[in-house]
Amino acid sequence: MQRLGIDTGGTFTDAITLEQSGELRLVKLATTREDASIAVLGAVEELVPLRQAVELVHGTTHATNALLTGDLGKVVFVTTAGFADLLAVGRQDRDEVYSLEARATRPQQSPARVVEVAERFAADGQLVTKLTGKEIQRVVTAVQKLKPQAVAVALLFAFRNPKHEQQLGRALAKLGMPIMLSHEVAPEVREYERATTTWADAALAPVVRQALMSLGQRLRDLHPGSQLRIMRSDGGTAEMAAAVEHPVQLALSGPAGGLGAALSLAKARGDRLLMTLDMGGTSTDVAWLSTGMPESRPLQVGRLGLLARGLPIHTVGTGGGSIAQLDAGGAIAVGPESAGAVPGPACYDRGGSAATVTDAHLACGRLQASAFLGGDFQLKPKAATAALKALAAPLGISAIAAAKQVLGIATADMERALRRVSLAEGRDPRQAVLYSFGGAGGLHAAWLAKNLEMQAVVVPPMAGAFSAVGLLEAPARRSYTQSVLQDLPTAKARAAYFKPLEEQGIAALQAEGLSRRSIRLQRKVELRGAGQAGVLVLPEGPALLQRFHEEHERRFGYRREQAAVELVAVNLTVDGPAVSQWKPKRVRRHAARPFARHRTWFGDADRNLESDWFQRESMKPGAFLQGPAVVAEYSATTLVPPGWNARVDRWNCLVLERKA
């Protein structure tokens, strides 16, 4: 069965498969926003003969977009009596501290669609108010009258004692719709986030389940015997039926593929610390990663806090299709609104008239009209210039000056994001390597690395479709978290907390056909000092207390050895086997040969510089060049500014290094 990785982005759908020759084959199609499955199945048809069975691993933005746009199912929220306003009240955090009219993001749940239940457990799980059979029937009748598409049940302290949720779940299941129970979705402390996560899971179910089940059926109709696997936010995959059980776990499905591929490649290259820059057509995703212990943390989508765990992705609304316009003060602003694939940037000549980041790159000579997507997609410089002139006219500046401002603003937005995941977390970006991918990442990578005083940039092969490469490699995975909240227990006592999670995870992967021998377990613990709010995540194992104090000192600059240490939660990752694509090749050092020479603006100087242009597909391991230069490939373009060298390493990565 041929394995395909297909990543649906806001602008392009990328599909990759590993041919029998060992080479990766890539297809890039415009994302069909009205029905994303059209582009997905179109990509399958270009890569695989009709009727041949395939294993399709899909990274989807369906859940992400639904949460961001509010295009969700109709939900009834069931909670403990007295807590009907739980979702509406939320947290009192202010995203904009100095805003006079700050508006917090809350789940879009009508008070009329909230049902209270006469029941209660105490914080320690002891019974306070019994749930009677009569009350259960009243709740079922009330829910049925509201005619929901799904039900979210989040009772107080259900993570301590799930008995009442289980009773309600069995009764509500007779209504024949998705029933999400908080102790199954997010068995953790913090009732607001637990309720929000359960609500989001229920709201996504009617939308995401239907879309993915329809895709799976259409795939099997065209390719009998095929399997559909879905990438989850934690960087692993699940069979379609398992993935749609809790669609909130797909909230960051697409970007997770790129992070997984970056970790795999970094392990092969021997890079211990890395920052990732994934710039696509709609947004840019950044992360700080360590190959020693990949971090997972609660997700935030559209300012909605979720206890669904995933890789540590931070997103900004800056991509190649981000629209540049004048703000209320008359200055240029970039994004978050995107032109997408249709109508797309003005230079796509598909009806778009607003200036975008891609138009600015083209106007500044950073893209060549005839070299985009390997020459298969001709860009229109005149259309880009016209859009930039319209942007520049109210400011009394030239189109080129406006283009340079657009690129400077976009780069500044991404630099803030990179600083957010590094310096704001007490991490030194100079110790990390910048891994740049996505179709537009290489256009900004060296500029960003210089601003952050980083010495090297790694641009992997197939950079514009790197998330799809990650889908090919991703293992089957399940991730679990269970709140504990007690003084640090002994290793034996901690093992007792992991045991039921291990049994659950192993059973889930064995149900997908994996043998017990092929399944790997990774145990982590969340610790904090008594009286502290923030937690430190460490691998479970010997000398845990000592390692906590060392990490606390590294993170915060001091130790608290006299204070008690609390075990907040246990985390378990259950993995099947992963397949790495990264096999080192023989290196023969030689000078790369350019195919053209053009004038290009590199961000620092006012004028464009004469620069050689190289075709990456023709560059073999060992090829080297000096900036100023531009390296074009089918799915991406990389700028090598003055003062930088570039070489192709043993793993076919383009490595940019600053001259000493």
Structure tokens at 348: 């796509």
Phi and psi dihedrals of 556, rounded to 5? -115, -10
Percent of the chain at pLDDT > 90 equals 72
Q: Give Rg (Cα) of the chain.
A: 26
From the list 82, 89, 91, the residue with the least C-alpha distance to 115 is 82
The yes-or-no verdict on residue 453 having pLDDT over 90 is: yes
Q: Are residues 281 and 225 in the same domain?
A: no
Q: Which of 492-506, 521-535, 566-580 is most confident?
A: 492-506
pLDDT-derived band of residue 437, with 50, 70 and 90 as boundaries?
Answer: very high
pLDDT-derived band of residue 495, with 50, 70 and 90 as boundaries?
Answer: very high
Whole-model pTM: value is 0.89
* pLDDT, tens digit (0-9, with 9 covering 90-100), for 601-632: 998 767 889 999 999 999 999 999 998 999 99
Q: Is the dihedral of CA 399, 404, 405, 406 positive or negative?
A: positive
What domain count does the chain have?
6
In sequence order, the 6+-apart residues with CB closer than 8 A to the CB of 293 are: 524, 537, 539
> Quick check: is 462 in a domain?
yes
* pLDDT, tens digit (0-9, with 9 covering 90-100), for 19-35: 877 788 899 888 887 78
* pLDDT, tens digit (0-9, with 9 covering 90-100), for 332-344: 999 888 887 788 8
* pLDDT, tens digit (0-9, with 9 covering 90-100), for 121-166: 999 999 999 999 999 999 999 999 999 999 999 999 999 999 999 9
Which helix (H) or strand (E) element contains residue 62?
Answer: helix 62-69
In this prediction, residue 254 carries a pLDDT of 79
Picking from 28-42, 288-302, 623-637, which range would have the lowest pLDDT averaged per residue? 288-302
* pLDDT, tens digit (0-9, with 9 covering 90-100), for 238-256: 999 999 999 999 988 878 8
Q: Are residues 278 and 422 in the same domain?
A: yes
Exposed, middle or buried by CB within 10 Å (0-12, 13-18, 19+), for 149? Answer: middle
Q: Are residues 83 and 116 in the same domain?
A: yes
Q: Are residues 238 and 118 in the same domain?
A: no
Q: Are residues 308 and 433 in the same domain?
A: yes
Q: Are residues 451 and 547 in the same domain?
A: no
Please give the residue range of the domain that contains residue 632: 590-643
Report the C-alpha gap between 83 and 63 in whole angstroms. 27
Structure tokens at 47: 């890569």
Q: Are residues 304 and 419 in the same domain?
A: yes
> Quick check: is 649 in a domain?
no
Q: Are residues 216 and 293 in the same domain?
A: no
> Quick check: is 258 in a domain?
yes
Picking from 316-320, 446-450, 620-624, which range would have the lowest pLDDT averaged per residue? 316-320
Q: Are residues 78 and 111 in the same domain?
A: yes
- The two beta strands, 273-279 and 433-437, are parallel
Structure tokens at 301: 């989508």
In this prediction, residue 562 carries a pLDDT of 84
